[in-house]
Amino acid sequence: METDHDRYKRNFPVSWDQLHRDARALAWRLHDMSTSWEKIVAVTRGGLVPAAVIARELSIHYIDTICVASYDWQQQGEAVILKQAASGGQGCLIIDDLVDTGATARVVREMLPKAYFATVYAKPAGKPLVDAYVTEVSQDTWILFPWDAENRFVAPIAGK
């Protein structure tokens, strides 16, 4: 039986600078839609940082959160809702860092069916559940976000 650890064959480290650039790229894409959203709903925890960048870039001052827990170091479990957002989604922009298998996105979509859902990164299994994203990565890639990493030596891919 394949575990979550077995399915991640690659790591994709994302620096703070790269995340900021990618979140701004998503903000440009959203801005070019000429839609004005009343508020942002950040999916915690990963959506908090990109939501802050996008809120600044789009001049949105109302930010709410949906708190969903589904990951524990490369292990994805059932999505557990810890806090819901206040509305049905009309005029709402949902922001998350990543859509992976779509488990969290499905839960969020059920809560806010009329919202526009955007993520910075998307994997093939979850991509159909979001309306916009910036970068697609393969399903077998673990995205290592800056808040989960520290600088250290990494062995070369080819070995010695």
The residue from 4, 22, 32, 100 that is catalytic is 100
Active site residue 100: yes
- CATH architecture of the domain formed by 10-146: 3-Layer(aba) Sandwich (3.40)
Q: Would residue 97 show up in a list of annotated catalytic residues for this protein?
A: yes
Per-residue pLDDT tens digits of the chain, which is 160 residues long? 454 556 789 999 999 999 999 999 999 999 998 788 999 999 999 999 999 999 999 999 999 999 888 765 445 567 788 888 777 678 899 999 999 999 999 999 999 999 999 999 999 999 999 999 999 999 999 999 999 988 888 888 887 6
Only one residue has tokens 């600088």, namely 151
Task: Find the catalytic residue in 64, 96, 131, 148.
Answer: 96
Three-state secondary structure call for residue 29: helix
**Of residues 22, 72, 97, 131, which has the active-site annotation?**
97
Known active-site residue 148:
no
Q: Is the link from the previous residue into 45 a cis peptide, with omega within 30 of 0?
A: yes
CB 71 within 8 A of CB 79: no
Q: Are 66 and 84 in contact (CB under 8 A)?
A: yes
- List 10's β-bridge partners, or say none: 141
